[in-house]
Structure 1
Amino acid sequence: MADAGVDIATAADLPEIVRIHRETWRLAYAQLLPPEVLDALDTDEAWSSAIQLGAVLKATEGEWTVGFAVASKAPQEEVARADGSLPEDAETTALVSVLVEPRWGRRGHGTRLLAEAGRRLEDTGATRGIAWVPEADKASKNFYERLGWTGDGTVRTLDAGGRPLREIRVSGPLAVRLGD
């Protein structure tokens, strides 16, 4: 494998981050989301803001950007239990999302992204991470489970263009051990 790394994404990375997001979702979620929802993914503005805040990391292999992670303090509504109450560690819980282009999968990029995001989050006082994963997305659930993250029993249903999309919340440690 060529040199692999993780760096903070910059404004120059915006087109690749957006491309990876759109193409990966179109491939991975074609059976979960209606075509019009996938076609309407308009993420440039959201990604630009996240990049400006320093919340986006990019994974590279050689000269290629192959994936990214978004990680920051979790908003209270993302951390809340199903009954609306907040756990004791709500103020130190981080919201994380990792996405690697399928053609670059199973090469350690996702693990490196989560490990670096976790390290940075712990440096800011975060103690635990959460992520939302479509219930039918076996690959993402398996990824998080391999790293010690498990479903915490919280489920939400989003309106995806008139089609319900069930997501489970997984939770786990920010410290991720990289393989040898």
Structure 2
Amino acid sequence: MRVRPATPEDAAAIATVHVRTWQATYQKQIPRGYLQQLDIATRRDEWQERLRSGPPDTVQVLEDEAAGVVGFVTAAAGEVQAIYILPAHQGTGGGRRLMAAALDRLRAAGDTEATLWVLATNDRARRFYEAAGWHPDGTTSIEEYGGVPVEELRYRRPLRSGPAG
């Protein structure tokens, strides 16, 4: 597997990863109706626009030689904004590769620390982040999904020079 900058041609694959991962990961954390209404075609159009107009290298994809794009990460302005990998490819080291690429991108932009948001109930993601040196900083937020309030926690970590990790 390799990580590379996303291109507009990756929009459909990113949208598929985005929707399918949300539907699998959040099925007991976000209302079912909200997850069922997620639409790959709509997300594809949103991703095409973002990849055409956004700053370069803010979105990177994880590409499997046989399966194509199986994950992605977005990072800008001191924040890892999203990191998702299809369930069948989780636990293979791809998440660490994507996170390293995101942190390297933030360092290259001059950031000295990074933040990210995670659902308070997403124990698997929280363990992943904590193993990578992230810690909750005490800031919380409430987002609504399908009319249901869901708590998010902000995590933070310093960005030291050198390889991410």
Q: Please tell me the TM-score bracket, short chain as reference.
A: 0.7 to 0.9
Which residue in the other structure is 2:75 paired with?
Answer: 71
Match of 2:106 among 92, 102, 121: 121
When the two chains are superposed, the root-mean-square deviation of aligned CA atoms in Å is: 1.5
Aligned AA for 2:61?
K
C-alpha contact 1:96 1:131 (8 A) present in aligned 2: yes
- The one-character-per-residue Cα deviations of 1:43-95 (angstroms, maximum 9, x if unpaired) are 2343223323232100012132111001111xxxxxxxxxxxxxxxxxxx334
How big is the shift at 1:145? 0.5
Correspondence 1:94-173 to 2 at 5 A:
94-173=79-158
Q: Aligned with 2:154: secondary structure? A: strand
Tell whether 2:16 aligns with 1:19: yes
Which residue in the other structure is 2:48 paired with?
Answer: 48
Show structure 2 runs of 5+ residues with no match: none
Which residue in the other structure is 1:86 paired with?
Answer: none
Show structure 1 runs of 5+ residues with no match: 74-92
Change (3 A) 1:24 1:38: same
TM-score (structure 2 length as normaliser):
0.86
**How far apart, in 1, do the equivalents of 2:50 and 2:129 lie?**
22
How big is the shift at 1:38? 1.1
**How far apart, in 1, do the equivalents of 2:91 and 2:113 lie?**
24
- The one-character-per-residue Cα deviations of 1:28-52 (angstroms, maximum 9, x if unpaired) are 1111212221123242343223323
Q: Which runs of 4+ in 1 moved over 4 A?
A: none
Change (3 A) 1:157 1:170: same
